[in-house]
């Protein structure tokens, strides 16, 4: 099916090359932003600060620090829950910043596979 353009309309000759250049620029910006995010370290605390979790933007768990008062042999399940909660929270922070940065670059345009 042929697209119909308004009478007298002539498409700019360099429109396609301009779009390709813009897409390449956006991809480069996204790659740069992803590198910055990956290099950044994210930290979160849970349980009132008794568990601290650090993770890089590329989702490598760096450390889990426990305050001595949280280590109670009777409360191992609570400690495990706090660790899981903390890891999930720091992952959420990484995902949130990644999405925010990529949306800033793409203008909210969701392009599958770019990030």
**Helix (H/G/I), strand (E/B), else coil: 1:** coil
The reported pTM is 0.60
Q: What would the pLDDT profile of 51-103 be if each residue is shown by its tens digit?
A: 899 999 888 888 989 888 888 888 888 888 888 898 999 999 999 998 898 88
Question: Which of the pair, 109 or 36, is modelled with greater confidence?
Answer: 36
89 with 46: CB under 8 angstroms? Answer: yes
CA-CA-CA-CA torsion sign (10, 14, 18, 21):
positive
43 pLDDT more than 90: yes
| The predicted structure's pLDDT at residue 10 | 59
Select 45-101's CATH number: 3.30.70.100, 1.10.10.10, 3.40.50.9100, 3.30.1310.10: 3.30.1310.10
Reply yes or no on whether the pLDDT at 5 is more than 80.
no
pLDDT above 90 as % of the chain: 18
Average predicted confidence (pLDDT) for the chain: 83
Domain range summary for the chain, segments of one domain joined by + = 45-101
Cα angle 113, 27, 90; round to 5 = 60
For the cut 60, the answer to whether the pLDDT of residue 30 exceeds it is: yes
pLDDT of 1 above 60? no
**pLDDT higher than 60, residue 114:** no
Which of 43, 42, 58, 48 minimizes the C-alpha distance to 82? 48
* Distance from C-alpha of 61 to C-alpha of 12, rounded to nearest angstrom: 50
Q: Are 65 and 51 in contact (CB under 8 A)?
A: yes
């Amino acid at each position: 099916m042929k697209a119909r353009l308004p009478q007298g309309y002539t498409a700019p000759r360099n429109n396609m090359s301009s779009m390709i250049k813009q897409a390449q620029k956006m991809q480069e910006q996204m790659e740069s932003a992803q590198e910055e995010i990956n290099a950044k370290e994210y930290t979160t605390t849970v349980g009132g600060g008794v568990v601290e979790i650090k993770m890089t933007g590329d989702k490598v768990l760096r450390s889990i620090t426990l305050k001595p008062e949280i280590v109670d042999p009777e409360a191992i399940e609570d400690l495990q829950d706090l660790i899981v909660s903390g890891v999930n929270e720091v992952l959420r922070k990484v995902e949130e910043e990644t999405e925010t940065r990529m949306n800033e670059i793409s203008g909210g345009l969701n392009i599958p596979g770019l990030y």
